[in-house]
Amino acid sequence: MKRNQFHHRFYKEERTATVSVLFFLYEIERVMIFYFRSHAAISSRTIGATSFPNFSMAAIT
């Protein structure tokens, strides 16, 4: 009984950590998009502005 309870708690914590990591990556991506749009307009044209929105959609789904 006690072992099962511990396992459930561990699973819950692990899931929370995974969700927080996903949100962290989303924040980094958002900052990067903002940076490329504001500071590196010429560079973003070279890279291809379409690649960033496509990556965002892939990350969400």
* Pair 52, 36: CB distance under 8 Å: yes
Confidence (pLDDT) at 61: 45
Instruction: Look at residues 26, 28, 29, 25 and name the one whose alpha carbon lies nearest to residue 51.
Output: 29
pLDDT digits (tens, 9 = 90+) for 5-43: 666 666 777 778 888 888 888 888 888 888 777 765 555
More confident residue, 23 or 56: 23
Q: Is residue 40 part of a domain?
A: yes
Q: Is residue 46 part of a domain?
A: yes
Q: Is residue 50 part of a domain?
A: yes
Q: Is residue 20 part of a domain?
A: no
Residue bearing tokens 């892939």: 58
Q: Is residue 42 part of a domain?
A: yes
Going by the DSSP 8-state scheme, the letter that residue 34 receives in this structure is H
Confidence (pLDDT) at 8: 67
Q: Is residue 4 part of a domain?
A: no
Q: Is residue 9 part of a domain?
A: no
Total domains in the fold of the chain: 1
Asked if the model's pLDDT at residue 49 lies above 60, the reply is no
Q: Is residue 2 part of a domain?
A: no
